[in-house]
Amino acid sequence: ATSLTDQVIVVTGAASGIGRATAEECALAGAQVVTVDRNAEGLKETRGLIEQAGGAAPIGELVADLADHAAVESAIAKLAQYEPDHLFHAAGLIIRRDDINDVTLDDWDLQVSVNQRASWFLTRGFCRQLIARDRAGSVVLVSSISGHLGLMSGSWVYASTKAGVSSMTKGFAKTFGSHGIRVNAVAPGLVETPMVRGGVRSKEVDDLINTSVPLRRTADPVEIARASMFLLSDAASFITGVTLDVDGGWLRR
């Protein structure tokens, strides 16, 4: 058991990949999970997987398109009823363009709205609720090592939104630390989720692994989940404002 037992954890992006794995691991660690995603069908599947693995089903499921600011505000209001202690915000998207000249204004707006703006407003809203309840909880946002690298397989816009996530993580940590609230981020390298295999040619992924990743493989989503749970839990009680690279050593090369 970890210190997450009986804690209420909101997990966004829970219909797939890293969010799903984290919702499942948290449930198996005895936490009470509230899942959020725009994909209702995927949330149902996540519920089924959690139950199959022997975890407690989510106590709440919220379908929301976090690209829409009104939906973000309404999600924050609806989440209050669960009196959550922790937020793990994994909802995000990438739009890859092989040619920098093909990047459009819509690419910018969508990636900024989900990856960056929703991260900021969700975290602010969540921390305000913690303060109102006089509760010291924690938040983990999801950055990416592409935020440090500046570019990875056509991720011009995505990379800068993720650098923004790491920056706001420090800002929130400074702002809410006096309330005992910790805000950290994880920066995954390549993780085996639909985002990676769906968007990058397999040969390109394999080349990147061989040239850039000391551990010579991609991550399983559960490995990102466990690092995130460490940061969410009391095991990381004196860690705040940090972006933890969970990248198989990529940035150390």
Q: Is 164 in the site for ligand NAD (CB under 6 A)?
A: no
Contact criterion met (CB below 8 Å) for 176 and 126: no
DSSP code for 99:
S
Q: Is 42 in the site for ligand NAD (CB under 6 A)?
A: yes
Beta bridge partners of 9: 33, 86
Q: Please, what is the minimum distance in Å from the beta carbon of residue 26 to ligand NAD?
A: 15
**CA separation for the pair 142, 154 (Å, rounded):** 19
Q: Give the length of the chain.
A: 253
Q: Three-state DSSP class for 180?
A: coil
Cβ contacts of 132 within 8 Å, gap of 6 or more: none
Q: Is 95 in the site for ligand NAD (CB under 6 A)?
A: no
Q: Is 15 in the site for ligand NAD (CB under 6 A)?
A: yes
Q: Is 248 in the site for ligand NAD (CB under 6 A)?
A: no
Does the annotation count 82 as an active-site position?
A: no
Q: In angstroms, how far is CA 53 from the centroid of its own chain?
A: 22
Q: Is 93 in the site for ligand NAD (CB under 6 A)?
A: yes
Span from 60-68, 80-88, 177-185, 236-244 in contact with ligand NAD (CB under 6 A)? 60-68
Contact criterion met (CB below 8 Å) for 118 and 91: yes
Span from 31-39, 80-88, 166-174, 206-214 in contact with ligand NAD (CB under 6 A)? 31-39
Residue ranges in contact with ligand NAD by CB under 6 A: 13, 15-19, 37-39, 42, 65-67, 90-94, 114, 142, 144, 188, 190-191, 193-196
Please give the positions annotated as active site.
158
